[in-house]
Amino acid sequence: MESPYLRFQTPELQAQWLTGSRPDIPGVTIHPALYIVVSFAALLYCRLTNQPLIITSLIRKPDPNLIESGVHFTGQGADAHVELTAKADQAALENQINAAILYLSGRKELHTALIHEVEDKKGNKLGLHLHLQVGPLEPKPATPETFIV
């Protein structure tokens, strides 16, 4: 069943979301709390834009040539493309997510949501990106087989 609030850049990302894992990275699963964070962010984004949130990254393999967020390697991070030209809308989305869902890490300067410009390896701007993450201190209960996203 498709959600009116959430889409995926590729079929592989949709499969990761639906299965909670990535076949070529055994042992890494999407943190159950990340489903809640992403779904909440998608609802808020749709309220602002009347468009679904498009997920561009979930579980990733480490790339030695890039400095990346480790939360993607552990199933605790998601990225989405966002089209919010007004700085006030960007701040509103980020602030609403961060106010509702604390990033449990023991470090006050880290947050659940961050919107920033993305560049490719050559420095070309690719647009705005919403980074969502679940903190390392977030409890990870066992996910039942019938877990519904």
Say if residue 65's pLDDT is above 70: no
**Sign of the C-alpha dihedral computed for residues 76, 16, 6 and 33 taken in this order:** negative
Estimate the share of the chain in helix, then strand, then coil, as percent rounded to the nearest 5. 30, 20, 50
Digit-coded pLDDT (tens) for 31-54: 999 999 999 999 999 999 999 999
Minimal CA–CA distance to 58: which of 94, 23, 107? 23
* pTM of the full structure: 0.89
Digit-coded pLDDT (tens) for 107-123: 888 999 999 988 888 88
Question: What pLDDT sits at residue 71?
Answer: 87
Question: What pLDDT sits at residue 139?
Answer: 87
Digit-coded pLDDT (tens) for 70-102: 888 888 999 999 999 899 999 999 999 999 999
Question: What pLDDT sits at residue 107?
Answer: 86
